[in-house]
């Protein structure tokens, strides 16, 4: 075999070096070689022939001959050159490496995603929060993504809080309880991956928008790439939870929508991009109108399917102002259509009220509008409008009848159609019925239309009151979730939100009789999703309750990922001074898992230098010492005596993962 054939065969063992149609990505390999990439060098060393060609032996140590290797690859004749750099260039790229090929994990503690401090009332009161961004490289990740031990499990019902005895399951063994899981969402998703693989019909997330005001701001130099890595890590695992006909819907604003779509295209495939919905999130008023230019009042809801051709959204309507063109009334609807007579709606209304048409408004006074509205609804079958028909959009048959009717004003013509509504034609016009434009909203018939990709009617005036909880800036309207859930799910389907915040998704899913799973890292105290769901169970009447005729009832299970090093991180975050930080360090030495390369003696020797650092630097340093693989307790440690798990923890964890005792 020629050397270049051996090389090509060996390099193709690494999937990242191969294009989708099986060609070697020479440009990527050259790039890796120039960076002395360990994976590439390892691959070359594994083949005797390549080892002999591209390495020099100096006193028993093999040195990679980078120049020779790159030159060899760059010689046009040696390797298939049919791919281009451009093929490889499509896709998101960080530091010269495609995001697709990067295997790091962005942990990110969500400190300023939303304004967290419960008591804050003014923006200026915001605390200078410390925020730890951490990206772990692939080789630093060992057990990070293993499922975790569960703790603090409770079942909430109308009767209150009780200990969780057992999860409910369906005939396929899938858990049918609603779940609220506290902990880092990446690790939470990995804990759900087996139990809920391909079970979730809709994933909705409202992640940090990377606006510069949220948590990713802490370190500006990698703000954008951290955000991308953070979103990517979670989307990849979330995708595996979706049913084949499932949907993922993501709220995002102008700051990152372009990148979000590129990322979704990479992970879900372009063919799965279904809608980009514009949401009106505020009005043109307040501080926004001080500066000249375009006032930003929109954000977006991006919808991707898991499998393009299996995606079957529902038909959803929205209410709107009555269309004044519906102003004709069929006086004798009981008779054959050929003999229908028409008059104006107002004439018919006047007759019905037995009041002269010109005196209607005066006599009915304040009741005029409501009485007329009721008349429209009660006569929805006989109120119509005449609409012109474009010859280009109708069949020959309809066209013939259209022209017959045009020259004959004595009767109404009917053109019957199989599997479609019949055409009624009068004087060359089609007759459209008011009833076909009505929808049932909150138990009442209203004038409506199918939803479009502009949702300017989902923001209520009193969003801050919804659910009885506050989440300044971050909270989504119940109506938005209601419409999305209507569009993408049916009764009993599972909905997942892994950026749960104040629990809007869960509250709406609960009122709509859908099963839900919510993940959230922070405990918002009185504004927590748990409090909101307790309100829902007890009959909360805010948000979409009236529309859904929500009474009360139902239940949910609360769980936490069992913390280990995460406990230290939380203590470090809230430490007020160096004394407190040093106390935590003492405890860390005894009880935490430190990174394998931390030399305790050296830390102690340099303790005075440590004390001289600013409080923020001290905190950052301590967090960096902790092994992130041990933030939460791995399932594999369930029988480890050192952790001294309670009987409850063991029982719930075993039951959730269906482990043999």
Ligand X SMILES: C[S@@+](CC[C@H](N)C(=O)[O-])C[C@H]1O[C@@H](n2cnc3c(N)ncnc32)[C@H](O)[C@@H]1O
Residues that bind ligand X (CB under 6 A): 108, 110, 113-114, 184-185, 206, 208, 471, 474-476, 499, 501-502, 504, 519-522
Cβ of residue 502: shortest distance to ligand X, in angstroms? 3
Between residues 29 and 561, which has the closer beta carbon with respect to ligand X? 561
Cβ of residue 250: shortest distance to ligand X, in angstroms? 11
Between residues 73 and 115, which has the closer beta carbon with respect to ligand X? 115
Cβ of residue 451: shortest distance to ligand X, in angstroms? 20
Between residues 114 and 652, which has the closer beta carbon with respect to ligand X? 114
| Pairing verdict, β 515-520 and 494-497 | parallel
Rounded to whole angstroms, what are the CA distances from 266 to 98, 274, 322, 471? 11, 15, 43, 32
- Residue where the block lists tokens 């772990």: 136
DSSP helix/strand/coil, 141 = coil
Between residues 126 and 353, which has the closer beta carbon with respect to ligand X? 126
Between residues 401 and 484, which has the closer beta carbon with respect to ligand X? 484
Between residues 502 and 515, which has the closer beta carbon with respect to ligand X? 502
- Nearest by Cα to 517 from 199, 179, 173: 179
Q: What is the DSSP letter of 47?
A: S
- Nearest by Cα to 261 from 225, 226, 300: 300
Contacts of 211 (CB under 8 A, 6+ apart): 253, 255
| Pairing verdict, β 454-455 and 273-280 | parallel
Cβ of residue 226: shortest distance to ligand X, in angstroms? 12
Cβ of residue 190: shortest distance to ligand X, in angstroms? 12
Residue 272 · residue 305 · CB < 8 Å: yes
Between residues 147 and 474, which has the closer beta carbon with respect to ligand X? 474
Cβ of residue 267: shortest distance to ligand X, in angstroms? 18
Between residues 494 and 519, which has the closer beta carbon with respect to ligand X? 519
Between residues 476 and 619, which has the closer beta carbon with respect to ligand X? 476
Residue 45 structure tokens: 């060393």
DSSP helix/strand/coil, 475 = coil
- Cα–Cα distance measured from residue 429 to residue 266, given in angstroms and rounded to the nearest whole number: 49
- Cα–Cα distance measured from residue 550 to residue 535, given in angstroms and rounded to the nearest whole number: 12
Cβ of residue 201: shortest distance to ligand X, in angstroms? 18
Cβ of residue 655: shortest distance to ligand X, in angstroms? 24
- Nearest by Cα to 382 from 415, 419, 341: 341
Q: What is the DSSP letter of 261?
A: H
Q: What is the DSSP string of 625-641?
A: HB-GGGSB-BGGGTT-G
Between residues 28 and 203, which has the closer beta carbon with respect to ligand X? 203
Residue 246 · residue 153 · CB < 8 Å: no
Cβ neighbour number for residue 139 with a 10 Å cutoff: 10
Cβ of residue 510: shortest distance to ligand X, in angstroms? 14
In the complex, residue closest to ligand X by CB: 501
Sheet with 423-426: strands ordered across: 342-344, 328-330, 383-387, 429-433, 423-426, 413-415
Cβ of residue 519: shortest distance to ligand X, in angstroms? 6
Q: In angstroms, how far is CA 380 from the centroid of its own chain?
A: 39
- Cα–Cα distance measured from residue 150 to residue 159, given in angstroms and rounded to the nearest whole number: 24
Cβ of residue 185: shortest distance to ligand X, in angstroms? 3
Between residues 64 and 259, which has the closer beta carbon with respect to ligand X? 259
Which residue pairs from 438-446 have beta carbons closer than 8 angstroms and sit at least 24 positions apart in sequence? 438/377, 438/380, 439/317, 439/318, 439/319, 441/319, 441/547, 442/546, 442/547, 443/549, 444/377, 445/377, 445/380, 446/319
Cβ of residue 258: shortest distance to ligand X, in angstroms? 20
Residue 361 structure tokens: 């408004």
Between residues 207 and 428, which has the closer beta carbon with respect to ligand X? 207
Cβ of residue 490: shortest distance to ligand X, in angstroms? 22
- Cα–Cα distance measured from residue 179 to residue 529, given in angstroms and rounded to the nearest whole number: 11
Between residues 150 and 401, which has the closer beta carbon with respect to ligand X? 150
């Amino acid at each position: 075999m020629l050397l270049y054939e051996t090389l090509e065969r060996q390099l193709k063992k690494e999937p990242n070096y191969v294009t989708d149609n099986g060609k070697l990505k020479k440009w990527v390999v050259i790039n890796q070689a120039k960076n002395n990439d360990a994976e590439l060098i390892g691959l070359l060393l594994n083949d005797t022939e390549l080892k002999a060609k591209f390495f020099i032996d100096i006193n028993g140590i093999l040195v990679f001959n980078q120049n020779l290797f790159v030159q060899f690859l760059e010689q046009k004749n040696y390797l298939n050159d049919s791919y281009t750099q451009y093929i490889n260039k499509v896709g998101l790229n960080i530091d010269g490496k495609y995001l697709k090929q990067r295997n790091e994990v962005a942990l990110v503690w969500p400190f300023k995603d939303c304004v967290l401090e419960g008591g804050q009332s003014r923006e200026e009161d915001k605390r200078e929060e410390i925020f730890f961004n951490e990206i772990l490289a692939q080789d630093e990740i060992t057990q990070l993504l293993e499922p975790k031990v569960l703790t603090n499990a409770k079942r909430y019902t109308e009767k209150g809080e009780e200990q969780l005895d057992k999860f409910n399951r369906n005939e396929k063994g899938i858990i049918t309880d609603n779940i609220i899981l506290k902990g880092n969402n990446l690790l939470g998703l990995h804990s759900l991956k087996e139990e809920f693989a391909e079970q979730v019909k809709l994933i909705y997330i409202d992640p940090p928008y990377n606006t510069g005001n949220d948590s990713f701001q802490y370190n500006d130099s990698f703000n954008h790439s951290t955000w991308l890595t953070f979103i990517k890590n979670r989307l990849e695992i979330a995708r595996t939870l979706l049913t084949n006909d499932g949907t993922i819907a993501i709220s995002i604003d102008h700051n990152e929508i372009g990148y979000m779509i590129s990322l979704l295209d990479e992970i879900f495939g372009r063919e799965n991009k279904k809608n980009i919905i514009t949401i009106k999130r505020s009005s043109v008023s307040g501080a926004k109108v001080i500066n000249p230019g375009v006032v930003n009042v929109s954000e977006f809801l991006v919808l991707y399917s898991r499998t393009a051709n299996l995606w079957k959204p529902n038909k959803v309507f929205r209410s709107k102002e009555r269309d004044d063109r519906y102003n004709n009334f069929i006086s004798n609807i009981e008779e054959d259509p050929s003999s229908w007579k028409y008059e104006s709606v107002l004439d018919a209304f006047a007759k019905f009220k037995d009041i002269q048409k010109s005196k209607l408004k005066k006599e009915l006074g304040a009741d005029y509008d409501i009485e007329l509205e009721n008349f429209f609804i009660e006569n929805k079958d006989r109120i119509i409008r005449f609409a012109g028909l474009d010859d280009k959009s109708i069949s020959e048959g309809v066209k013939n009848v259209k022209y017959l009717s045009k020259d004959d004003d004595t009767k109404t013509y009917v053109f019957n159609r199989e599997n479609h509504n019949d055409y009624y034609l009068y004087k060359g016009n089609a007759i459209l019925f008011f009833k076909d434009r009505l929808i049932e909203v909150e138990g009442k018939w209203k004038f409506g239309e199918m939803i479009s990709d502009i949702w300017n009617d989902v923001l209520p005036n009193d969003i801050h009151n919804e659910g009885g909880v506050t989440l300044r800036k971050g909270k989504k309207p119940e109506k938005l979730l209601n419409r999305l859930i209507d569009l993408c799910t049916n009764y009993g389907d599972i909905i997942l939100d892994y950026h749960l915040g104040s629990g809007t998704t869960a509250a709406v899913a609960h009122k709509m009789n859908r099963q839900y799973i919510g993940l959230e890292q922070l405990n918002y105290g009185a504004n927590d999703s748990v409090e909101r769901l307790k309100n829902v169970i007890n009959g909360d009447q805010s948000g979409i309750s009236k529309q859904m005729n929500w009474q009360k009832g139902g239940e949910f299970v609360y769980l936490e990922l069992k913390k280990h090093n995460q406990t230290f991180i939380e203590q470090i975050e809230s430490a007020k001074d160096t004394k407190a930080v040093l106390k935590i360090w003492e405890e860390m030495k005894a009880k935490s898992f430190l990174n394998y390369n931390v030399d305790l003696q050296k830390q102690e020797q340099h303790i005075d230098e440590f004390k001289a650092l600013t409080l923020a630097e001290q905190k950052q340093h301590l967090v960096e010492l902790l092994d992130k693989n041990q933030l939460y307790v791995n399932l594999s440690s369930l029988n480890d005596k050192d952790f001294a798990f309670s009987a409850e923890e063991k029982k719930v964890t075993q039951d959730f993962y269906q482990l043999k005792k």
